[in-house]
Amino acid sequence: MSRDFLLEIGTEEIPAGWLQNTSTQLANKICELLSKEGISHDEPEIFYTPRRIAVLIKNVATRQENKSIEITGPPKEVAFDKNGNLTKAGIGFAKAHKVSPSELKVKKKGKQEVIYYQKLQKGKETSEILESALQDIISQIEFPKSMRWESSGFRFARPIRWIVALLDKTVIPFEIAGVKSGEKSQGLRFASPIIIKSPDSYEKVLEESGVIANADKRLNLIMESIQKLIKGKDLTPEYGNLLEEVTNLVECPRAILGKFDEKYLKLPKEVIIAAMETHQRYFALEKKDKALAPYFVVIANTKDGDVDKIREGHERVLRARLEDAEFYFKEDMKVPLKKRLSELKEVVWQEGLGTLDDKTQRLIELSEYIADNFISIHINLKVLREAAELCKVDLLTNMIKDGKEFTKLEGLYGSILAKEQDLDSKVVIAIRERTAYLPDIETSPEGVALAIADRIDTIVGAFILGKIPTGSKDPLGIRRVGNELVSIITESARFVNALHIPLKSLISKTLSVYEKVQGSRFKVQGEKIFEFLIQRFRKYSLDESRYDIIDAVLEVPNDDIVDLLARINALNKLKDKEDFITLIRLAKRVRNILNKSQVSSLKSQVLKEPEEKELYDALMKGQDKFENYLEKRDYESALDWLLELAPLINNFFDKVLVMAKETDVRENRLALLNELYLSFQKIADFSKIVE
């Protein structure tokens, strides 16, 4: 027998970016509880809006299965005498557990025999298990930040206002922060409460009151509504990264088309979009030629509001934003970027790490170092130097300094001003690409060099200040910067084999540039920074690779993440082949034997059996070819060569006794296996790979 279970936690508005993770955590924790308690259930459905997170699980068993458990007692020799009769200890065990002596049995436990009896443990009701666990489950949900709002001290993302907990039509009673669970939910703000009569009616009942609890439905509804608004107008919405955020900001989405004065279209496109998106979350609209149209779409959170009044209010807000932008832009255009360079000395970049001018000087030296040593595409050093000099200047402009909604344009705005002021087009592109999450090395190798220099400078600076990410804390957002650095290096290398950058050398150079520019030594371990970046690389690789393959490659010392990625990709292509699994097993066997043995030098004249001679010959003859593959970073061919050895290794183990009685023969066979093991280790530690 089964029932459906619903848990809804109603709150004040939870930040949009937290909702999916929060509801997923809640669903996972409830399912873990049910599985642990042996209660069968279907996969969970999750729902969330700014004011609620909910989990619906269908076909939840009403109680645990009854199960037979063994209760063990004293050892057999203590429980029975020599004649097989129960001793006082045996009788005492039976009495204590209220069982007949005839029910006692004997079993082996470890190295001795003990008495035991089988007891039928009756399964608990699911409602009872949920009632005792839900408060604890909810308290375990993690947030980037949490808050207290009442005397019990309970913490959550935002204050809890209602709780619905139903197993079919039965309320699961519990209380959190003064709020008792029940069947009463809330619709849109200021609307009357909603009674949820059963879990399977939850989504429909909310929808009838205007709340779209399913995030995918809200997203599709927003897109469909926008398309209806612009039908026949030859316009395309500019969703960018805004669509998911807006979906999570509303419960009852309603698309409204607004308009702004065409005179503002003289402003740079990026500035107008920033004015719409940053605080207002409006969707910009483009014409067929990708130029902006003088329209925008706002997603209101209302079922019955006055559309004209809502539109007028938002048009008024956007007009004020664009007025500010127009003023800032006109003022900024009056001052050439190069004239602002002297002002960089007056602005502190980070306390303890110098001014923006210090940062700029470091970027000039670091980007030239990267360009000279690691980028094979031709780089115009004059362009690179000018872009490095100017890339931080827009921080001094009115738009970035005073316009809070425009701060995300930092870097990009500098390239806009550079273009408007007729600077070299390559300098303009390099300044822009420096800010890109994935700069294009074919379009601007100068921008890539500058982007890498900027990220590594920021990361090293954070470690110098001791602002190192720990747990959920990352005061300077260094994890994001580390992710960007890894992505820039690895993704750029997909287009040109030019970014084999030894991270340790890059870190060491950055530290030396810091000390040179700042004129003092810093007590920071480069190895700690390297470990941080390798963890960022591991996270990056997990999107497309198995953890065990990544760990196998990382086990071999290497600070070139492009090379590491090439090894991981090569192993990924072979991972499902039967020969590869065989090779892994053999590699592990070789390692296990060598771990217990001392290894001496290999002597060909001591080889006796045909199988060991055959393996030796293959190793020696193919060694140059194998090394050549490694030098060219052709790891697929290198692995294919190792795969060819698999039958020979198998024959060796089948026919040859490694641990021979003769000392010289035994040591020589171990030396042969060591030679083989060293070849494996030149690619990865195969013992880390799961079969």
Whether residue 554 lies inside any domain: the answer is no
Count of C-beta atoms within a 10 Å radius of residue 657: 11
Whether residue 12 lies inside any domain: the answer is yes
Together in a domain, 394 and 464: yes
Together in a domain, 369 and 428: yes
Whether residue 194 lies inside any domain: the answer is yes
Of 242-256, 291-305, 585-599, 668-682, least confident by mean pLDDT is 585-599
How far, in Å, CA of 580 to CA of 571, rounded?
9
Whether residue 323 lies inside any domain: the answer is yes
| Percent of the chain clearing pLDDT 90 (strictly above) | 65
Question: Residue 102: what pLDDT?
Answer: 83
Question: Residue 476: what pLDDT?
Answer: 85
- Report how many domains make up the chain: 5
Q: Residue 107: which pLDDT band, with cuts at 50, 70 and 90?
A: confident
Phi, psi of 464 (to 5 degrees): -60, -40
Together in a domain, 377 and 414: yes
Question: Residue 364: what pLDDT?
Answer: 97
Together in a domain, 192 and 319: no
The domain boundary, picked from 543, 563, 587, lies at: 543
Together in a domain, 629 and 492: no
* Cα separation values, 354 from 339, 348, 461, Å: 21, 6, 10
The CATH number given to whatever domain includes residue 146 is 3.30.70.260
| Percent of the chain clearing pLDDT 70 (strictly above) | 99
The domain boundary, picked from 143, 174, 208, lies at: 208
The domain boundary, picked from 333, 356, 385, lies at: 333
The CATH number given to whatever domain includes residue 674 is 1.10.730.10
* Cα separation values, 98 from 92, 93, 374, Å: 10, 8, 79
Together in a domain, 345 and 407: yes
- What pLDDT digit, counting tens, does each position of 662-689 carry? 888 888 888 898 888 889 999 999 888 8
The pTM assigned to this predicted structure is 0.79
Together in a domain, 364 and 464: yes
Whether residue 586 lies inside any domain: the answer is yes
Together in a domain, 399 and 321: no
For residue 494, count CB atoms less than 10 angstroms from its CB and return exposed for 0-12, middle for 13-18, buried for 19 or more.
Answer: exposed
Whether residue 486 lies inside any domain: the answer is yes
The CATH number given to whatever domain includes residue 495 is 1.10.3210
Question: Residue 24: what pLDDT?
Answer: 96
- Whether 284 and 272 have beta carbons less than 8 Å apart is answered as yes
Give start and end residues of each alpha helix (H) in 499-609: 503-518, 526-541, 547-554, 561-574, 578-595
Whether residue 243 lies inside any domain: the answer is yes
Question: Residue 496: what pLDDT?
Answer: 57
For residue 622, count CB atoms less than 10 angstroms from its CB and return exposed for 0-12, middle for 13-18, buried for 19 or more.
Answer: middle
Cβ-proximal residues to 417 (8 Å cutoff; 6+ apart), any chain: 332, 333, 337, 394, 397
Together in a domain, 640 and 658: yes
Together in a domain, 492 and 436: yes
Question: Residue 495: what pLDDT?
Answer: 64
When pLDDT is averaged across residues 320-325 and rounded to a whole number, the result is 95
Q: Quote the domain boundaries for residue 113.
A: 70-120
Question: Residue 594: what pLDDT?
Answer: 84
What does the mean pLDDT of the chain come to?
91
- What pLDDT digit, counting tens, does each position of 468-524 carry? 888 777 888 899 999 999 999 998 877 655 689 999 999 999 999 998 888 777 778
pLDDT surpassing 80 at residue 597: no
Together in a domain, 637 and 580: yes
Together in a domain, 476 and 499: yes
Question: Residue 119: what pLDDT?
Answer: 82
Whether residue 568 lies inside any domain: the answer is no
